[in-house]
Each structure stands twice: as C-alpha cells, then as structure tokens.
C-alpha cells in the first residue's frame, strides 16, 4: 500500500471492476433457491466453486454444510470473514420476479445477500493480492437460524483446523434506509434462549371435565401470568423480551388432552437478568401446575441458545471510521443494541477481537412511504427480517461487498 492510500480507497479500487448485473444474477439465483438449516447443499456448492476458482484452498462439509476457503498471501495477519447461508420456513409474499421457487421456504433474513457479499468480496480480494499481505479465511456458515451452525463448525474443528484469526468480521442486512451502515461498539445483539415447557394433565372426554386435569387451561394461565415477568419483575432500564411463540395441545375439540406444550423465546442483554427471568418462568410454571392439581411436575428446559454479540469497542470504532470514508460520513450511524440475536460470536476463538455491523436495505420508496417520524418509528413500519415481505434493495449489493473488503484490507494492507 502506498503511503497516501487508505483501506477505504483500496477497497474502492479493488471493487471497481465488479459489475452490478453479476451481483444481481448471483443474488437473485440464491433467492430463488433457498435452503433450510443444514440443508444448504446447493448454496454451499456455489460458494465453494467460486472460492476454488479464485484460488482458495477449500474445505467443505465443515459442521455439516459449512464451507471454509483459505487464501495465504505472504506474511501478515489472519482475517476471517463470515457469512451465513440458511433460509427460513416462511412463505414468500413479496411478488418479486425472482421470488422463492421452494414452497414454504424463503430467504426472509437476507442470508442470500450475505453469501453474495462474501463471495464477491473474496473474489475481489483474491484478484488484488498485490495490495495486501497475510491470510484470508472465508467462512460460509450453515444453520444460523437454527442456532446450531456455529457450534457445529466449532465442534468440527474450525478453530483448530484453520489459521487462528487476529480479527473476525461479519455483517447482516437489516431494515432501514438503503445504504446506511449501523455500527455499535460493545453490545450490539442480545442473548436469546428458547424455553420449552410441558404442562402435564389428565386427559378425558370433553363432556366430563370433572374427571380430568385440563392442561390447556393451565397453560393458558401460564401464558397470561408470564406477561407480568417483564412488566413487574424486571427493572425498566433492563432490556428484556419474553415471547410465547408456541402453544400446542390436543387433536379434537371434544377431547381434553393429557398435556400441553409451550415454546417461549427470551431475549436479554445482561447475564444476571437472564437468570432472574428464567427463575421467574420456572416459578410461574410450577406454581400454576400446582394450583391446577397437575398429576406430575411440569417440565421446563432450555433449547437453542444464542450468546450476546459484543463488539470490540476499539475495533468497531476503527471499522466505523473506515466505512465513513468509504461510503460517506452521513452513511454510518449507531442504532444501539438490537434485541435480535446471532451465533456469529461462537465462531470466534477466545480473546480474538471481532466486529459485526448492519447494512440497511429498505428501498427508498418503501422507506419514504412508511408512517411515522424518525428512524425508530419507521423501522417498525417497514418489512424487516423474518417477514414474508422482506425484500432488500438491490442497490446495497455493491456497498455490502465494499464494507467487507474494506474491513479485511484494514488489517491485511496495514
């Protein structure tokens, strides 16, 4: 790198040859062919073939369907770039010409865009080896949505089989004015826990409820009482979301079932608060079951868990400054910590700094038409991640490549 060059100016040079049509073709193809968690075979094959063609040493089937490409280019730091690949069990209603062709499956969280960004960033950096020195590791991660992808890759030796990183970078598409980038030092995404509850009862005929212990009624009381946990047991300054997303019981209207099952999702930003809320959930479930005369104690278990995502503050400040230079001073803002969750940090070896940011993607017309004033109100009014209407604007394809390339060059070209 020449003395006057910066990582931002290099990123613009390195990506100057990218054609918008090529980016759109790949993205639209991936969007048409979404694959659920641990089923990302086609997506992984496309990514692997492009990385192999760019000169990366490829390892596939890491943690199931994960892809890892390594490009060694002389002495220097090791940088990991990560993108997740899986889609969601959502039926798309966008009406796009390139809408999903898979019934009941959609890239409703934008991982198709993540793969596109990762692929073209990797190719651009490989084609510009003369501008940097070090080792680049590109990771296509499966099953982020299921919460098991990062754990599966780590269990399969990701942190031992490949060069240990000096820094790890990742990014995520999100609602907001297309082209803006959100950087938050420290806590940027919350921890999440799925809580599974089995409410036992005594089944019987709907005409003779006196001979039963109705788990549906008990579960309904539990759902209602759980609403008081956040409102009455958590301080207003602590960010907590507790959602009952599943309520399953019975097969026929005239049969009182023998059990009911609830699925909760808990979002927290503090370890002590998390433990206090989980204790409250257990207390309420046990209390309601005891009050109802359930024949055996209820079951309360923790399923999929995501840790909090906590950026290295100094690193985030550096990358935010780089992105301001790359995209313009007004393009970078701090939206604060989100209640959403990620398994990105699980990939990162202990004591290695990482930075994770959001690229906003709502089309301008949709953003302008959204009701409300200010960023916070409008974001709630436009389709966001996991919505069947989520449709990132194609204009963010190239900037998303540039933000990844710039971050990598920030370390590799120093």
Active-site residues, by number, are 86, 144
CB neighbour class for 221 (10 Å; exposed up to 12, middle 13-18, buried from 19): middle
Q: Helix (H, G, I), strand (E, B), or coil: what is residue 326?
A: helix
In 3D space, the residue among 79, 83, 75, 81 whose CA is nearest the CA of residue 166 turns out to be: 79
CA distance 194 to 305: 6
- With contact defined as beta carbons under 8 Å apart, do 267 and 241 qualify? yes
Half-sphere exposure of 226 (CA within 13 A, CB side): 26
- With contact defined as beta carbons under 8 Å apart, do 191 and 341 qualify? yes
List, in sequence order, the alpha helices (H) in 60-166: 111-127, 149-155, 158-161
CB neighbour class for 75 (10 Å; exposed up to 12, middle 13-18, buried from 19): exposed
CB neighbour class for 228 (10 Å; exposed up to 12, middle 13-18, buried from 19): exposed
Handedness of CA 200, 206, 211, 214 (dihedral sign): positive
Q: In degrees rounded to 5, what are phi and psi of residue 146?
A: -80, -10
- With contact defined as beta carbons under 8 Å apart, do 53 and 66 qualify? no
For residue 277, what are the contacts with CB-CB under 8 A and spacing of at least 6?
229, 230, 233, 234, 240, 242, 266, 268
Expressed in percent and rounded to 5, the helix, strand and coil fractions of the chain are 40, 25, 35
For residue 216, what are the contacts with CB-CB under 8 A and spacing of at least 6?
201, 249, 250, 256, 257, 260
């Amino acid at each position: 790198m020449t003395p006057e060059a910066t990582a931002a100016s290099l990123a613009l040079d390195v990506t100057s040859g990218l054609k918008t049509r090529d980016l759109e073709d790949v993205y639209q193809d991936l969007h048409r062919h979404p694959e659920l968690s641990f089923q990302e075979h086609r997506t992984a094959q496309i990514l692997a073939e492009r990385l192999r063609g760019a000169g990366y040493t490829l390892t596939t089937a890491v943690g199931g369907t994960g892809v890892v490409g390594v490009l060694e280019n002389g002495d220097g730091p090791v940088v990991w770039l990560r993108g997740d690949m899986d889609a969601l069990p959502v039926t798309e209603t966008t009406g796009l010409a390139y809408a999903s062709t898979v019934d009941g499956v959609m890239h409703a969280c934008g991982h198709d865009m993540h793969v596109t960004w990762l692929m073209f960033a990797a190719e651009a950096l490989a084609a510009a080896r003369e501008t940097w020195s070090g080792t680049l590791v590109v990771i296509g991660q499966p099953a982020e949505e299921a919460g098991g992808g990062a754990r599966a890759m780590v269990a399969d030796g990701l942190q031992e089989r490949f060069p240990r990183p000096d820094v790890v970078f990742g990014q995520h598409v999100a609602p907001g004015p297309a082209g803006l980038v959100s950087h938050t030092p420290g806590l940027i995404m919350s921890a999440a826990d799925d809580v599974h509850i089995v409410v036992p009862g005594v089944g019987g005929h709907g005409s003779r409820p006196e001979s039963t212990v109705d788990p549906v009624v008990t579960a309904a009381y539990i759902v209602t009482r759980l609403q008081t946990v956040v409102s009455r047991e958590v301080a207003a300054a602590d960010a907590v979301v507790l959602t009952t997303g599943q309520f399953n019981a019975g097969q026929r209207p005239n049969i009182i079932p023998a059990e009911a099952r609830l699925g909760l999702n808990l979002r927290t930003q503090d370890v002590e608060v998390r433990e206090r809320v989980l204790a409250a959930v257990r207390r309420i479930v046990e209390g309601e079951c005891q009050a109802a005369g359930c024949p055996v104690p209820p079951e309360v278990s923790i399923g999929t868990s995501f840790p909090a995502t906590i950026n290295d503050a100094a690193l985030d400040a550096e990358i935010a400054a780089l992105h301001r230079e790359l995209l313009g001073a007004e393009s970078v803002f701090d939206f604060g910590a989100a209640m959403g969750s990620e398994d990105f940090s699980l990939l990162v070896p202990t004591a290695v700094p990482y930075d994770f940011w959001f690229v906003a993607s709502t089309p301008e017309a949709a953003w302008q038409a959204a009701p409300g004033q200010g960023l916070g109100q409008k974001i709630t009014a436009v389709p966001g991640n996991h919505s069947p209407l989520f449709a990132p604007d194609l204009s963010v394809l190239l900037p998303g490549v540039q933000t990844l390339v710039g971050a990598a060059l920030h370390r590799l070209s120093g």
